[in-house]
């Protein structure tokens, strides 16, 4: 079995004629952190090319790395982010209230991570079930009392759960749909598992924000797809689900939250789809359903690259020391594509204890705890997890009070 395959047809509608938006070359897997004793070993690199489907408007990458390689052992724990935990608590409280959830309900989360979201339903007495393919993360979730199945979600697993008498009042799928190669089978799983009046709540990075704000570092091999509402609407309709509500959220640099129901349920229940109709019209007006909207994305990325490299060259010429905050997937894309490494940067800090002591993919920068910033006091810190900038800047108030400054690279290079 090969580690990856390249697609020539759309992942959603299976049409040919995919048009290239941006080619980031070949890069290592963004979350494949390196053990110090392995840094002399060659790292596998995979093509990273972004394309557009003219038929269904889905933006996607062409390389599919086997999910067992990407996700069976995973180093991203959602609970390390205060922003994510707060976001989860608010979402759970809202759904409990809106849907009248209680002891007879069931909430399922697909890609449930360490239970960061389901814990809030559990505390309110709502039964939950997590589905998480990463063995280490599923184990952590079970240890905190969240019932978790360690498998990849899809139509087969959904049908098995239904055969066991499990049907969901709410299915959450936060930041997972972009990771899925078999989009149609995955969404059919939602349709099977939902109760007749249940809802699926999906959050995914919004491609319009990604393009307009030059968020190229959102592109890595785990993210196979980059969704507009137009593309999501076609995907869900094809699999007998109807999107009844959509919101734009600022989290992760711009996110869509959609709420969908079984199509046979919406035929019986009056629903207000005004938010969906409005955003579909806006996307058409933007031109987000046409290749022309994406044509200058490569040029925008080049501007960010030139500005950041020029700033870093100037700072190094001034004998300034520069560290990095965030051993993130975003950061891996940026560092590897821009060619920034140990000749410019000293070390990386990250709040996640499971990343500390390892090295960044491709660039092999050492990862430390954030305390290292106060111990070493670098002049500048390149903030690669810019999507959590407010949280991190607040956490690093003492470093900043002592004179340390942060460089935020996206959407445009600035120093704070």
Instruction: Count structural domains, the chain.
Output: 2
pLDDT of residue 37 exceeding 70, the answer is yes
Residue 186: give its domain's CATH number.
Answer: 3.40.50.150
Of 250, 273, 294, the position where a domain reaches its end is 294
Residue 326: give its domain's CATH number.
Answer: 3.40.50.720
- Do residues 332 and 261 both lie within one domain? no
Establish if 257 belongs to a structural domain: yes
pLDDT in tens, 349-361: 999 999 999 999 9
Query: Which of 234, 193, 192, 183 lies closest to 60 in space, CA to CA?
Result: 183
Top mean pLDDT of 82-86, 117-121, 270-274 is at 117-121
Of 263, 294, 325, the position where a domain reaches its end is 294
Per-residue model confidence (pLDDT) at position 104: 97
Per-residue model confidence (pLDDT) at position 267: 67
CA torsion sign for 124, 129, 134, 135 is positive
141, 113 in Cβ contact below 8 A? Answer: yes
- Do residues 308 and 211 both lie within one domain? no
- Do residues 257 and 230 both lie within one domain? yes
Establish if 235 belongs to a structural domain: yes
- Do residues 229 and 283 both lie within one domain? yes
Rounded Cα–Cα distance for residues 302 and 238 (Å): 37
Q: In which residue are the tokens 């935990």 written?
A: 85
- Do residues 245 and 301 both lie within one domain? no
Establish if 210 belongs to a structural domain: yes
Rounded Cα–Cα distance for residues 193 and 202 (Å): 15
Predicted model pTM: 0.93
Of 240, 269, 294, the position where a domain reaches its end is 294
Q: Which domain holds residue 227?
A: 153-294
State mean pLDDT over 95-103. Answer: 97
State the chain's mean pLDDT as an integer: 95
- Do residues 283 and 172 both lie within one domain? yes
pLDDT in tens, 251-295: 888 999 999 999 998 766 667 899 999 999 999 999 999 999 999
- Do residues 160 and 271 both lie within one domain? yes
């Amino acid at each position: 079995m090969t580690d990856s395959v390249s697609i020539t047809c759309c992942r959603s509608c299976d049409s040919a004629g995919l048009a290239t938006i941006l080619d980031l070359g070949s890069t290592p897997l963004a979350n494949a952190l390196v053990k110090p004793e392995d840094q002399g070993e060659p790292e596998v690199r995979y093509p990273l090319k972004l394309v557009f489907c003219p038929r269904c408007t889905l933006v996607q990458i062409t390389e599919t790395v086997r999910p067992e390689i990407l996700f069976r052992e995973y180093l991203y724990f959602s609970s390390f982010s205060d922003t994510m935990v707060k976001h989860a608590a608010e979402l759970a409280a809202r759904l409990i209230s809106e849907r009248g959830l209680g002891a007879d309900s069931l909430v399922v989360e697909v890609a449930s991570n360490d239970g960061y979201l389901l814990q809030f339903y559990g505390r309110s007495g709502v039964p939950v079930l997590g589905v998480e393919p990463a063995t280490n993360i599923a184990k952590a979730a079970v240890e905190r009392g969240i019932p978790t199945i360690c498998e990849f979600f899809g139509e087969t697993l959904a049908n098995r759960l239904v055969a066991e008498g499990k049907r969901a009042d709410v299915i959450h799928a936060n930041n997972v749909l972009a990771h899925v190669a078999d989009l149609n089978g995955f969404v059919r799983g939602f349709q099977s598992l939902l109760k007749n009046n249940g809802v699926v709540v999906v959050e995914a990075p919004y491609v319009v924000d990604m393009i307009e704000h030059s968020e190229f570092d959102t592109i890595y091999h785990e993210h196979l797809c980059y969704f507009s509402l137009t593309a999501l609407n076609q995907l869900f309709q094809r699999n007998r689900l109807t999107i009844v509500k959509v919101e734009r959220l600022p989290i992760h640099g711009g996110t869509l939250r959609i709420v969908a129901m079984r199509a046979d349920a919406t035929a019986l229940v009056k629903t207000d789809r005004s938010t969906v109709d409005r955003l579909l019209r806006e996307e058409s007006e933007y031109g987000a359903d046409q290749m022309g909207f994406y044509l200058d994305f490569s040029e925008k990325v080049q501007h960010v690259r030139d500005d950041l490299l020029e700033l870093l060259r100037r700072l190094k010429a001034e004998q300034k020391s520069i560290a990095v905050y965030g051993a993130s997937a975003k950061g891996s894309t940026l560092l590897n594509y821009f060619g920034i490494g140990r000749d410019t940067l000293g070390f990386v800090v990250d709040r996640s204890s499971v990343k500390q002591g390892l090295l960044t993919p491709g660039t092999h920068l050492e990862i430390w705890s954030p305390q290292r910033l106060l111990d070493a006091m670098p002049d500048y810190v390149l903030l690669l997890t810019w999507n959590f900038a407010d949280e991190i800047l607040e956490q690093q108030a003492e470093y900043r009070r002592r004179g340390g400054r942060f460089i935020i690279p996206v959407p445009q290079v600035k120093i704070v």
